[in-house]
Structure 1
Amino acid sequence: MNRKLLIILILTCCSSFLFAQQNDIMPQSTHYEWPKDPLVKEKLDNWQDKKFGMIVHWGLYAIPGIIESWTICSEDWIERDSTISYEDYKKWYWDFSKQFNPTKFNPEQWAKAGKDAGMKYLVFTTKHHDGFAMFDTKQSDFSIAKGPFANNPRADVAKYVFDAFRKQGFMIGAYFSKPDWHSQYYWWQKYATADRNNNYDIRKYPWRWNMFKNYTYNQISELMNNYGSVDILWLDGGWVRPLETVNEEVLSWGANIPKWSQDIDMPKIATMARKAQPGLIMVDRTVHGSYENYQTPEQRIPEKQLDYPWESCMTLGGAWGFVPNDKYKPAAEVVHKLVEIVAKGGSLLLGIGPKPDGTLPAEVIAQLNEIGKWTSVNGKAIYNTRITKNYNSGQTWFTQSKDGRSIYAIYCIKPEEKLPKTISWKGNIPKKGTTMKLISKSYNLKWKVLNGETIVELPSNLSERNALAFEFQVAN
């Protein structure tokens, strides 16, 4: 089939891929186990101060501009052109490794855009489910450092991404997919690839699975030992797990569950990783227990406040990676989500995707810059804060300073809303005589309590957009 026609057909189906992916979301778990290692606790507390991060999906899928990895998985929710065979499609997809040559690769641009937005930590996709490594792995030739980009001085992409974000003061996270659909130790070409799981019976071929375990361990070891300080190991592909940990949450995804255990020996991996990176935060998504140091609800915000560490990972546009003509969330929507998430005890990890040439779309930079206009003057109510018992009243959300001395009320302005002369909220009644400060302007405002409701007078000349943040004290 004509390659351009194939891409058009794929892009036509892309919206259905994205919709399906939105529905492949992890439901809220009720189980969390606090880490015991004091260094992990310390780093986790530091991470909880950051509140706003960037997750970068960049790989082969950027070239045709399609959903990351999933089109090569044979599951019912995925649609492909019916005139091309599945095996030919996979070959077509994987052959992008021979074309991926991002000569304008500019991680400094990404890091600056993130900093300008007010982001404080990074999660970079070092390898997605398709198995294509965005680092110079010695375990496989299927990597950015082995194709057309090999002779570029920045061929070891992850190194330069991490360096650029470190220079901007970010905590560093490495996303790593536990499944690897390109590896013969995971998807063995002897058999068809029926779904996202490994496609052979591990009980029958234990030696092959042991090879995959070694391969996974060695790749993670490379990331932990060769790329400087790493704060977070963000492990995706939660179906790769011990069989005994498969629970209702996993079953709710609708994916087939094999009869054998896809155990990759996480205790061994964790011991190695934390020897190289003391205090490392491990995020073995959905495998609740010792190695899921914070939880990661995807594309949604929990209904209620949670008192353990978590982040909502959400896309800025409609896709995790680069898709041409993507529609991006308005800055106000992102700010409102950030405010709600922080008030409920979480962090926002916002997903963006660089173009195939290694630069960010201009629209992404513009949106991040607009978000930063708010965080740069209102960040006191977001960063280094913790939850309050009374965290919401209508359009107003509440946080408190880490030392508990100040309460912050954040009023989210609705689209097209004309600011009223006064705003009010219930709960968190200010302490008698306290100063009510508008954080963005350092204005002291008049306020009163009437019938158990706090009423704050707003200046007539306010031109604020997105949200208003106030600082005050409450009676003990």
Structure 2
Amino acid sequence: MSTEEYLRKIDEVIAQGPYTDTWDSLCGHPTPVWYEKGKFGIFIHWGVYSVPAFGDEWYPRNMYRKGSRENLHHVETYGTLDKFGYKDFIPMFRGEKFDPVQWAELFQEAGAKFVVPVAEHHDGFKMYASELSSWNAAEMGPEKDVLGQLKAEIENRGMVLGASSHRAENYWFFNGAREIPEADVNDPQYAELYGAAAGPTRDHSNIYDNTPTQEHMEKWLVHTCELIDKYHPKLIFFDWWIQQYAWKPYLRKFAAYYYNRAVQWGEEVAIDSKFDAYVHGSAVKDLERGQLDHITPDLWQNDTSVARNSWGYTIGNDYKKTSDIILDLVDVVSKNGALLLNVGPKSDGTIPEEDANILREIGRWMKVNGEAIYGTKYWKVFGEGPTVVPEGHFTDTYEKNFTSEDIRFTSKGNHIYAIVLHWPEDGEIHIRSLGNDMKLLKSSICDVELLGTDLHPRFFRNEALDISCGRIIEPGDMPVVLKITIE
């Protein structure tokens, strides 16, 4: 199907409704129940950029930027850009050990409820079978329909499949090569992979400057609609550059098409977007490596990674502690958020042992404490304590030294979960939000249970709810959950 034919098909689906490509209509689309209940998902950055495994997943851009660390490394390791361009990594990207069964089993063991592979990153190489471009993993490199194989195994295990598209950024991702005449990006025969390699000439965060061409935006729309038509993902994740003002009509069209197709499928779906690309209420707000400092009644998401330095696999990744990731998960959920945690597989298709160990440790914590996460709602306040969690993008790597006074709340039925972010040595907990002034809780407390034990500790409701657990748990970095039953 040509671009023009697909555009006509998109218009026909939108005309059938029930959603139109207007903000008023799109803001009436509900957030999926599976998303609100699931809370925790796995993001996967796997692509050709895992072959050089240097710097980060922006290696393909930076290798064409004269004098950059990646550029110098590339020339020294692989040769000059007229001899070895990014396309030449594709035959080396074999994925010979890729096992979708093992991946899905690991994600299930971690306690994930949804999985979001990057279907296409900024580099223009698709990780799925496409009729619109031969630059895809089914025809080149691994010669496997990676997304399709993952879909089968993920859904067979009761998890939800999503997909991430970063195709918008392909417009300018390789533009550094325009200053290197001999670079392969400048050869028209590779234009389908490298894109326009045009602007932005200035700040690519400027939402009014550096407008992409109509051709690029129409192809983006068609390629993204092909992705949903072939694989029926229940979540589409977009990276940041689509907040650029010129994209707005195309964003509306995509959402109307996607939401209408989901009605035809009988499925609940969602779009994740950053900043104000989508009008508030028409999609789920996403903060990259970021958190909120307050509760919001609308579901939001923190997408982050097991590594601080990169989303894709690189040699020598700087990994976070598992406890820090779980603490972020708890804080996010207490504020009505979900956590999308990224792993970066190696080019051979194996998930690094460091990534896998983190996921297994999260899974062990979830087996004990998952009832305080899954299917919960936020409580009247997200928590209490002296430690400030800063709001905004790129804030979740800040050092946070939580104390035993730092507590987060979730709720379900007649239970309040008080999640203590740093367990005290003496096992004495004081929860001021549940004190006898009854400002926040006017119900009676009839039981307190320490999850993971048989202990129902003594408690007294004074200025604070004072709970005496003794030394049954050793102090550590992992949060501990108190299940409080009210009448």
TM range (shorter): 0.7 to 0.9
- CA RMSD, Structure 1 to Structure 2 (Å): 3.4
Q: Pick the aligned partner of 2:103 from 107, 110, 131.
A: 110
Q: Are the equivalent residues in 2 in contact too, given 1:55–1:349 (CA < 8 A)?
A: yes
Q: Pick the aligned partner of 2:89 from 85, 89, 96.
A: 96
Q: Which whole-Å CA distance do the structure 2 matches of 1:459 and 1:402 have between them?
A: 26
Structure 1 residues 374-383 or 178-187, which shifts more?
178-187
Aligned pairs for 1:80-95 (under 5 A) are: 80-81=70-71, 84=75, 88=81, 92-95=85-88
In the alignment, structure 1 segments of 5+ residues that lack a partner are 1-31, 244-260
Structure 1 residues 174-183 or 157-166, which shifts more?
174-183
Name the aligned partner's letter for residue 173 of structure 1. G
Deviation digits for residues 119-178 of structure 1, max 9, x if unmatched? 11111100011111001111112111222433xxxx111101122211222122110012
Indicate the percent of aligned positions where both proteins have the same amino acid: 22
Q: Are the equivalent residues in 1 in contact too, given 2:419–2:482 (CA < 8 A)?
A: yes
Relative to structure 1, the CA distance from residue 75 to residue 383 in structure 2 (aligned partners, 3 Å threshold; closer, same or farther) is farther
Relative to structure 1, the CA distance from residue 192 to residue 53 in structure 2 (aligned partners, 3 Å threshold; closer, same or farther) is closer
Q: Which whole-Å CA distance do the structure 2 matches of 1:271 and 1:81 have between them?
A: 41
The structure that is helix-richer by fraction is 2
Name the aligned partner's letter for residue 380 of structure 2. K
Q: Are the equivalent residues in 2 in contact too, given 1:100–1:144 (CA < 8 A)?
A: no
Q: Are the equivalent residues in 2 in contact too, given 1:122–1:171 (CA < 8 A)?
A: yes
Question: In the alignment, is residue 175 of structure 1 matched against residue 175 of structure 2?
Answer: no
Name the aligned partner's letter for residue 273 of structure 1. Y
Question: In the alignment, is residue 411 of structure 1 matched against residue 420 of structure 2?
Answer: yes
Question: In the alignment, is residue 276 of structure 1 matched against residue 261 of structure 2?
Answer: yes
Paired residue for 2:196?
188
Tell me the SS of whatever aligns to 1:389.
strand
Q: Are the equivalent residues in 1 in contact too, given 2:65–2:71 (CA < 8 A)?
A: no
Q: Pick the aligned partner of 1:233 from 233, 236, 241.
A: 236
Relative to structure 1, the CA distance from residue 311 to residue 240 in structure 2 (aligned partners, 3 Å threshold; closer, same or farther) is closer
Shift in Å, 1:232: 0.6
Structure 1 residues 459-468 or 156-165, which shifts more?
459-468
Shift in Å, 1:263: 5.2
Q: Which whole-Å CA distance do the structure 1 matches of 2:256 and 2:80 have between them?
A: 38
Q: Which whole-Å CA distance do the structure 1 matches of 2:293 and 2:431 have between them?
A: 20
Paired residue for 2:384?
393
Tell me the SS of whatever aligns to 2:255.
helix
Paired residue for 2:430?
424
Q: Are the equivalent residues in 2 in contact too, given 1:406–1:472 (CA < 8 A)?
A: yes
Question: In the alignment, is residue 297 of structure 1 matched against residue 287 of structure 2?
Answer: yes
Relative to structure 1, the CA distance from residue 276 to residue 379 in structure 2 (aligned partners, 3 Å threshold; closer, same or farther) is same
Relative to structure 1, the CA distance from residue 90 to residue 353 in structure 2 (aligned partners, 3 Å threshold; closer, same or farther) is farther
Q: How many residues are treated as equivalent by the alignment?
A: 407
Paired residue for 1:438?
450
Paired residue for 2:177?
none
Tell me the SS of whatever aligns to 2:256.
helix
Aligned pairs for 1:61-80 (under 5 A) are: 61-66=49-54, 67-69=56-58, 71-72=60-61, 79-80=69-70
Q: Which whole-Å CA distance do the structure 2 matches of 1:301 and 1:50 have between them?
A: 18
Question: In the alignment, is residue 133 of structure 1 matched against residue 115 of structure 2?
Answer: no
Q: Are the equivalent residues in 2 in contact too, given 1:72–1:89 (CA < 8 A)?
A: no
Q: Are the equivalent residues in 2 in contact too, given 1:69–1:128 (CA < 8 A)?
A: no
Q: Are the equivalent residues in 2 in contact too, given 1:297–1:312 (CA < 8 A)?
A: yes
Q: Are the equivalent residues in 2 in contact too, given 1:378–1:439 (CA < 8 A)?
A: yes
Name the aligned partner's letter for residue 353 of structure 2. A
Name the aligned partner's letter for residue 303 of structure 1. D
Name the aligned partner's letter for residue 238 of structure 2. L
Q: Which whole-Å CA distance do the structure 1 matches of 2:287 and 2:31 have between them?
A: 23
Structure 1 residues 433-442 or 423-432, which shifts more?
423-432
Q: Pick the aligned partner of 2:472 from 456, 461, 470.
A: 461
- TM value normalised by structure 1: 0.76
Shift in Å, 1:89: 8.1
Q: Which whole-Å CA distance do the structure 1 matches of 2:83 and 2:278 have between them?
A: 33
Tell me the SS of whatever aligns to 1:367.
helix
Tell me the SS of whatever aligns to 2:104.
helix
Paired residue for 1:325?
316
Tell me the SS of whatever aligns to 1:407.
strand
Q: Are the equivalent residues in 1 in contact too, given 2:333–2:410 (CA < 8 A)?
A: no
Aligned pairs for 1:332-411 (under 5 A) are: 332-394=323-385, 395-403=405-413, 405-411=414-420
- TM value normalised by structure 2: 0.75
Q: Are the equivalent residues in 1 in contact too, given 2:26–2:256 (CA < 8 A)?
A: no
Shift in Å, 1:443: 2.6
Q: Pick the aligned partner of 2:155 from 166, 170, 176.
A: 166
Q: Which whole-Å CA distance do the structure 2 matches of 1:90 and 1:315 have between them?
A: 34
Deviation digits for residues 177-229 of structure 1, max 9, x if unmatched? 1232478488436x68757869xx999xx9x93432332222222221112x4
Q: Which whole-Å CA distance do the structure 2 matches of 1:266 and 1:433 have between them?
A: 49
Relative to structure 1, the CA distance from residue 167 to residue 140 in structure 2 (aligned partners, 3 Å threshold; closer, same or farther) is same
Shift in Å, 1:305: 2.6
Question: In the alignment, is residue 145 of structure 1 matched against residue 132 of structure 2?
Answer: no
